[in-house]
C-alpha cells in the first residue's frame, strides 16, 4: 500500500506521496475531532500510525533547503564554501536534477572507492545517500582527502578543473554562478 515498484532497480520503494497523503488525512482527522470537542490522544493511535507521524517529522527536519545547505557548509567549515555552493547549484541543476532528487546527491559525486565515504551505493551512475546532508559530508571528506593542500581560490579552481569535472570550462561556469548570485557575500563573517 505504501510502496511502489521501481522497475529500474527491480525493488519496492516507499512511496512518500502516499505516506504524506495518509499523514495529512490522519492529522486533519485528529484536528477535526479536536475542534468537535473530542480531543484525540496519541495513545489511541496504533503503533503504525505513530511511526508514520515520526517518519513525517523526520522527513520535515531533513527536508532540503538552500539555507540549510549554507548553514551546514558553515558548520563543517569547508574550504571556499561559496565555490562549493556554486558546485551544488551547477551539479544538481539548481536542486532539480534526478540525481539530486533520487540520490540526495548535491555534487554529482561518483561513489568513492578508496577514501572514506558516506555513499550507500550507486544509482543513475552516481553515488546515492540516505540524506542530502550525507552528500555534503561526503564532499567534505573528498575535500579533505584531495584538496587539503590547496591554499587559494586559483588553486582550488585548477584542482577542480583537473580532477573533478568532466566538462570543459567548469571553473569558468562556477565563477559565473558565484558572481551572478553574489555567493561570496553569503559566507562573509558578520
Nearest to 87 by CA among 189, 103, 97, 190: 97
Q: How far apart are CA 85 and CA 64, in angstroms?
A: 14
pLDDT at 189: 63
Cα dist. 97→44, 60, 133 in Å? 41, 20, 17
CA distances from 92 to 30, 49, 110 (A): 38, 34, 13
Whole-number Å distance between alpha carbons of 150 and 46: 55
Correct CATH for 66-186 of 1.10.150.170, 1.10.530.10, 1.20.1250.20, 3.10.20.30: 1.10.530.10
Residue recorded with cell 489511541: 44
Q: Residues 6 or more apart from 6 whose CB is under 8 A from it?
A: 12, 13
Cell for 91? 551539479
* Per-residue 3-state assignment (H helix, E strand, C coil) for 143-190: HHHHCCCCCCHHHHHHHHHHHHCCCCCHHHHHHHHHHHCCHHHHCCCC
Residue 96 cell numbers, joined: 532539480
pLDDT at residue number 143: 96
Q: Residue 188 has what pLDDT?
A: 86
CA angle (81 as vertex; 161, 73 as ends), nearest 5: 130
pLDDT of amino acid 102: 97
pLDDT in tens, the chain (190 residues): 455 666 666 666 666 555 555 555 545 555 444 444 444 455 677 887 777 677 666 666 779 999 999 999 999 999 999 999 999 999 999 999 999 999 999 999 999 999 999 999 999 999 999 999 999 999 999 999 999 999 999 999 999 999 998 888 999 999 999 999 999 999 986 4
Domain ranges of the chain: 3-62, 66-186
Amino acid at each position: 500500500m505504501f510502496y511502489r515498484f521501481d522497475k529500474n532497480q527491480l525493488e519496492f520503494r516507499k512511496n512518500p506521496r502516499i505516506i504524506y497523503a495518509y499523514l495529512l488525512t490522519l492529522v486533519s482527522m485528529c484536528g477535526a475531532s479536536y475542534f468537535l470537542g473530542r480531543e484525540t490522544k496519541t495513545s489511541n493511535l496504533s503503533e503504525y500510525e505513530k511511526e508514520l507521524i515520526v517518519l513525517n517529522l523526520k522527513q520535515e527536519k531533513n527536508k532540503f533547503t538552500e539555507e540549510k545547505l549554507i548553514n551546514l557548509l558553515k558548520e563543517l567549515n569547508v574550504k571556499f564554501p561559496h565555490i562549493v555552493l556554486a558546485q551544488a547549484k551547477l551539479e544538481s541543476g539548481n536542486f532539480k536534477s534526478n540525481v539530486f532528487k533520487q540520490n540526495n546527491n548535491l555534487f554529482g559525486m561518483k561513489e568513492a572507492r578508496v577514501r572514506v565515504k558516506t555513499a550507500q551505493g550507486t544509482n543513475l551512475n552516481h553515488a546515492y545517500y540516505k540524506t542530502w546532508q550525507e552528500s555534503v559530508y561526503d564532499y567534505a571528506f573528498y575535500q579533505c582527502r584531495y584538496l587539503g593542500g590547496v591554499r587559494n581560490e586559483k588553486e582550488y579552481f585548477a584542482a577542480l578543473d583537473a580532477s573533478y569535472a568532466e566538462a570543459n570550462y567548469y571553473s569558468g561556469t562556477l565563477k559565473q554562478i558565484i558572481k551572478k548570485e553574489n555567493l561570496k557575500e553569503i559566507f562573509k563573517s558578520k
